[in-house]
Amino acid sequence: MNKKSVKDVDLKGKRVFCRVDFNVPMKDGHVTDETRIKAALPTINYLIDQGAKVILASHLGRPKGQVVEELRLTPVAERLSTLLGRNVSKAEEAYGETVKAAVDHMDDGDVLLLENVRFYAGEEKNDPELAKAFADLADLYVNDAFGAAHRAHASTEGIAHYVPAVSGLLMEKELDVLGKALSNPERPFTAIIGGAKVKDKIEVIDNLLDKVDNLIIGGGLAFTFVKAQGHDIGKSLLEEDKIELAQSFIKKAEEKGVKFLMPVDAVVADRFAEDAEAKTVSIEEIPSEWMALDIGPETANLYSDVIQSSKLVIWNGPMGVFEMDKFAGGTRAVAEALAEANDTYSVIGGGDSAAAVEKFHFADRMSHISTGGGASLEFMEGKDLPGVVALNDK
C-alpha cells in the first residue's frame, strides 16, 4: 500500500485520534458479536505499547444525527476494557471542551472512547467544522475503520485534511488480503450477496457482473429481484424503485454469460417474529399476507453446489434473518458449504455475515473474514475508498 501506516510514524506521547469500526451487533444493551472489537485490538495495543494517548472514535448504528440512548458506545467500552485488560474511559460526547479536558488528563498509554460520532449531523455530511473539532483533539489521525472506509464522513475522511493521517494495522491487512485475492481472481469466481441494505448493495451488483462467473442473491435483497421477475412477494422486503434496475441486472447477467442465481423457494412467516408461524413455499407461491425471511432448502442446496465448485467466493450479507432460529437455515447452509469447500478461497464481508459465521462456529474454516461489508464490496468493485484516499502517501 502506498499510504503511511502507524508503523511509519513516531507515536510516543502523541494524542492519536483513532477511528475504529465498533458498529457491532447489540441486543438489550449487550454486544452480541465482538469480531470488530477484536479486529481493532492489534492497532490499539500497538498504540498503547508505543506510548500514545489513544482516543478512539466510532459510529454505532444509524442514529441520523441525534442522540439515541440505545446507540451509546458505553457497552462497547466495557467489552473493550475486558478484551484489553485495562481501563477504557468513556466520554459522553465526541468533541468539545469536556472531551478536550479529558484528553488533557490522559497519560501515555491511556485509552478513551468517544461517544457515537453519528449523534452529530455533521458526521455523515462530512462537515469541515466537525472534522476540525475532531482534529483539534489530536496530533495524529489513524484510520483503522476498514468497515466504514467507503464512507466520506467527518471522522473517516474529513479529519484527515486537518492533521497528519495514517492507516491502522487492520486497515492495512484488509486492503492487502482483499487486493491479493482480487488482483488475479481464481475461477470460477462467485459472489453471494444478501442482507437487508438493499439500496447500498444493489448498485454493487452492476459492477460485480463484470467480474464474476456466478452471482448468488439471497437475504432481504433477493425479493426485489423475485418481484422483478413478476412474482408476488407478499410483505417481503422490497425496494420498489429498484425493480427496473434489478430487471436490467438479470438481463446483463444473461448477456455476459454470468450465472445469476435467485431463490427457488423461501421460508415465509406470518409476521416478523421468532414465534411467527412459518412454512416453506416455492418462490411463485409466497402468500400475499406473508413475508419471506429465509431462502428455502432447495435454494440452499443449489447455492451450496455452486459454492463447492468455485475457487473464489466472496460472501456479503446473510441469506435470511439468521438471528431467529426459524430463519437461520439458509445462512447456516451457505456457511457450511463454504467451510467444507477446501479448495475454495472464501472471503466473508460485513458485520452481520461475520457474526453469522461466528454464531455457527465456522469462522476458523473461512479463508478471510473481512470486517467490512459495503467497504469490501466497493473495494472489490474497484472503487476508491474515501477513508483510504484521504490518508498521507508514503
Ligand X SMILES: O=C(OP(=O)(O)O)[C@H](O)COP(=O)(O)O
- Residues near ligand X, by CB under 6 A: 21, 23, 62, 147-148, 151, 350-351, 372-374
118 belongs to an annotated ligand binding site: yes
Binding mask 68-107 for ligand ADP (x = CB under 6 A): ----------------------------------------
Nearer to ligand X, 21 or 157 (CB): 21
Q: 317 vs 13, 148, 353, CA distance in Å?
A: 41, 16, 5
- Is position 196 an interface residue for ligand ADP (rule: CB under 6 A)? yes
* Of the residues 35, 126, 316, 344, which one makes contact with ligand ADP according to CB under 6 A: 316
Q: Which is nearer to ligand ADP, 11 or 286 (CB)?
A: 286
- Cα separation, 218 vs 262, whole angstroms: 7
Q: Which residues pair with 269 in a beta bridge?
A: 278, 291
Tell the smallest beta-carbon distance from residue 293 to ligand X (Å): 18
User: Binding site annotation covers 350?
Assistant: yes
Task: Kindly tell me which of 296 and 387 has the beta carbon lying closer to ligand X.
Answer: 387
- Nine-digit cell string for 105: 488528563
Listing DSSP states for 338-375 in one string gives: HHH-TT-EEEEESHHHHHHHHHTT-GGGSSEEES-SHH
DSSP string, 229-282: TT---TTS---GGGHHHHHHHHHHHHHHT-EEE--SEEEEESSSSTTS-EEEEE
Residue 374 is a catalytic residue: yes
Our answer to whether residue 122 is catalytic in this structure is no
Smallest gap from residue 252 Cβ to ligand X (A): 23
230 dihedral zone (left: phi>0; alpha: psi -120 to 50; beta): left
Q: Which x/- pattern, by CB under 6 A, does the window 149-188 give for ligand ADP?
A: ----------------------------------------
**Distance from chain centroid for Cα 133:** 26
3-state secondary structure of 224: helix
187 noted as active-site residue: no
Query: What is the grid cell recorded at 25?
Result: 451487533
- Provide the grid cell at 82: 475486558
Counting contacts by CB under 6 A, is residue 195 touching ligand ADP? yes
Active-site annotation holder among 349, 351, 372, 373: 351
65 belongs to the catalytic site: no
Distances (CA, A) of 391 to 150, 167, 386: 13, 7, 9
Torsion of CA 176, 178, 183, 188, to 10 degrees: 150
Is 323 assigned to a binding site? yes
Q: In angstroms, what is the C-alpha Rg of the chain?
A: 21
Q: Which is nearer to ligand X, 278 or 385 (CB)?
A: 385
Task: Return the range that interacts with ligand ADP (CB under 6 A); candidates 58-66, 114-122, 135-143, 320-328.
Answer: 320-328
From the list 3, 14, 19, 36, the catalytic residue is 36
Q: Is 59 annotated as a binding residue?
A: yes
At residue 212, the 3 state secondary structure works out as: coil
- For ligand ADP, the binding residues (CB under 6 A) are 195-197, 219-220, 237, 292-293, 316-318, 320-321, 323, 350-353, 373
Binding residues: 21-23, 36, 59-62, 118, 151, 201, 323, 350-353
Which residues does the annotation mark as catalytic? 36, 197, 351, 374
Summarize the annotated binding site for ATP as residue ranges: 201, 323, 350-353
